[in-house]
Amino acid sequence: QLQLQESGSGLVKPSQTLSLTCTVSGGSISSGIYSWSWIRQPPGRGLEWIGYIYHSGSTNYNPSLKSRVTISVDRSKNQFSLKLSSVTAADTAVYYCTRDATDGTSNWFDPWGQGTLVTVSS
Amino acid sequence: DIQLTQSPSSLSASVGDRVTITCRASQSINTYLNWYQQKPGKAPNLLIYVASTLQSGVPPRFSGSGSGTDFTLTISSLQPEDFAIYYCQQNNMTPWTFGQGTKVEIK
């Protein structure tokens, strides 16, 4: 059974860079048909897709965050990572990693990691 | 970006009630629409994909329908474990976007 687990710093100072890693177990991140996404949820609010990456390294970012986001993949460790630069309090959120499952035409997020809260504060 | 508007934003219902949640897209998204359930402190969980396909392991009291711009999620007989927030999400065009959520509460 595929499982995802987020890890990284839970407290980041304003203007610094948020860094998170998602470790995939029970399957290979190099499976060609899937992409791997980061999604965030500010406390008490809705869900925002941040971006995805394929095992090849090809990425697609939400334009609202594109100038500050980098998603990378480490196939040898079966991990993918998120970096978000120049953070502010508005970036405080629970960050989830997930797989973009697909039937070749449509895709959906499944499964999800449990999420990790990142707080931006001095 | 494609905007998804859910209605209602919240509802109160009793166990056994039939519940319907709607999701309207700002432009046609064919059937590229998914539904998720989120319980407090937990990650969202996929219920339905491609508008009407039930995810494995999801009880058949959940169903989805629609295409184009108008979609519905129906719970045929609400159970205690169904009290949660429900989100629709489109994958017609990036950036993938979510509805604002519908909170289903106990009456």
pLDDT tens digits, A98-111: 999 998 899 999 99
One-letter amino acid of A3: Q
Nearest chain A alpha carbon to B36? A109
CA distance B87 to B6: 8
pLDDT at A33: 84
Of B46, B95, B100, the CB nearest to A108: B46
Q: What token pair was written down for A97?
A: 């990693």
Q: Quick one: pLDDT band at residue B99, thresholds 50, 70, 90?
A: very high
- Is the confidence at residue A55, as pLDDT, over 90? no
CA distance B9 to B19: 13
Q: For a pLDDT cut of 70, what percent of chain B falls above it?
A: 100
The total number of residues written for chain B in this structure: 107
CA distance B100 to B94: 17
Of B1, B43, B96, the CB nearest to A112: B43
CA distance B19 to B91: 25
In the three-class reduction of DSSP (H, G, I as helix; E, B as strand; rest coil), residue B89 is classed as strand
- Is the confidence at residue B107, as pLDDT, over 90? no
Q: Beta strand pairing status for A11-12 and A116-120? A: parallel
Residue B101 C-alpha, separation from nearest chain A C-alpha, in angstroms: 7
pLDDT at B106: 87
- Is the confidence at residue A93, as pLDDT, over 80? yes
- Is the confidence at residue A32, as pLDDT, over 80? no
pLDDT at A36: 97
The predicted model gives A76-96 an average pLDDT of: 98
Give me the residue label for tokens 């895709």. A107
* Residue A59 sits at the chain B interface (C-beta within 8 Å): no
CA distance B91 to A40: 17
Residues 60-79 of B with CB under 8 A from A: none
- Is the confidence at residue A31, as pLDDT, over 90? no
Mean pLDDT of chain A: 96
